[in-house]
Amino acid sequence: RYISTFRPSVKCEAEKNKAQWKTMGPAKVAVPSPKNFLQKHSKEPKLPARKKEQDSKKLPALSVPRRTDHPVMGIQSKKNFINTNAVAAITGLPKKPQPIYVDRRQGDKYLLETSGLVPKYIKKKDYGVTPKYVTRRNEEMKRAQKEYEAGILEHLKKRAMKRLSDEERRSLLQGLKKNWEEVYREFQGLSVEIDTIPKKIYKEKLESQMKQLEHDIEVIEKHKVIYIANE
């Protein structure tokens, strides 16, 4: 039978490095005492001990009479409550009835104030006034638009472009419309029967001019801000 020459050294290393409880736990475990069991509310936080007040003998002033107090007897009022009530009823203002509404001719009565039929909302002080957050948002939008336009202008200046003014844009639009009317007038003056090649070429030319003018007019009307390159 083969026996390794390293067997004694392996046994010695195993005895030195491996304890008997390394993988299975300690050999002897202290058993807890049965007297130290977990009691109810034992883990809840405990309040500090209450301090005795120095003036514990002095009781606070009570708003109700004590049990030993006796009412004052023999006091009579000389006020005539009958006459007083009669004068108050005669001189007092009559009570105004609450406004009501009826849902149908022989229906039930309901209070008009809580029905929503009274225009209370339009009588508020801030009715019709633009809220502050809306004005603030509009100002921020305008400021952002101005900054954006300023950035575009700066960028276009670098690229040698200029913006058309409102008058130039209006005059350009009017000129395009006038040219379209002239071309349309020429188109209307064409003969009904187009049987030659020059007539067909001329008609196609007028149609292309009208389409181009219509496209230019639509672009200028759609965009209020137009930039053109400097010559």
Task: Identify whether 26 is part of a domain.
Answer: no
Task: Identify whether 169 is part of a domain.
Answer: yes
Q: How far is CA 67 from CA 34, 44, 58, 70, 74, in A?
A: 55, 41, 17, 8, 20
Task: Identify whether 122 is part of a domain.
Answer: no
Residue with tokens 């400097």: 230
Cβ 199 vs Cβ 212: under 8 Å: no
pLDDT at 230: 63
How confident is the model over 109-120, as pLDDT tens digits?
888 888 888 888
- Domain span at residue 217 reads 162-228
Task: Identify whether 221 is part of a domain.
Answer: yes
Task: Identify whether 179 is part of a domain.
Answer: yes
Mean pLDDT of 20-49: 79
This prediction has a pTM of 0.33
pLDDT at 112: 87
SS (H, E, C) 17-32: HCCCCCCCCCCCCCCC
pLDDT at 12 over 80: yes
Task: Identify whether 110 is part of a domain.
Answer: no
Task: Identify whether 167 is part of a domain.
Answer: yes
Give the number of domains in the chain.
1
pLDDT at 25: 62
Measured CA to CA, the distance from residue 136 to residue 94 in angstroms comes to 51
Task: Identify whether 222 is part of a domain.
Answer: yes
Written as one letter, the residue type at 136 is R
Measured CA to CA, the distance from residue 57 to residue 189 in angstroms comes to 121
